[in-house]
Amino acid sequence: MSKKSKEPQTEEAGKSVDELILNYPNGKYSAVPLAALWAKVLRKREENRHLTPAELLNLSLKDVLGGSVDWRDVKKALAAEPSDPLAALDKKK
């Protein structure tokens, strides 16, 4: 008889994206543009460079629909990014 170690999962982690969409309290149609913008923020992070676009979108949907990201977080992350990539290079010199 083998014992399997089960890692504890959070409530949102066990749910599928479909279930999260159906239970999203702020309206599922407002979550789509928020998730798209959050995917752009995630794509620019170094730890997510290896993910495919589908995996990034899935990750951003889970973050948004799970409640860990809202509009304020996205606006803050987008404001922190330089809008001109060449300007970021000039700062490094």
pLDDT tens profile 30-84 = 888 999 999 999 999 889 989 999 999 999 999 998 888 888 999 999 888 776 5
* 5 found inside a domain: no
- Asked if residue 44 is part of any domain, the answer here is yes
- 50 falls within a domain: yes
Among candidates 84, 82, 80, which has minimal Cα distance to 72?
80
Question: Is the residue at 51 inside a domain?
Answer: yes
7-39: per-residue pLDDT in tens? 334 455 567 888 888 878 877 788 889 999 999
- Structural domain boundaries, residue 60: 29-80
Q: How many domains does the chain have?
A: 1
Residue 73 within any structural domain of the chain: yes
Q: How would you write the chain as a 3-class SS string?
A: CCCCCCCCCCCCCCCCHHHHHHCCCCCHHHHHHHHHHHHHHHHCCHHHCCCCHHHHHHHHHHHHHHCCCCHHHHHHHHHHCCCCHHHHHHHHC
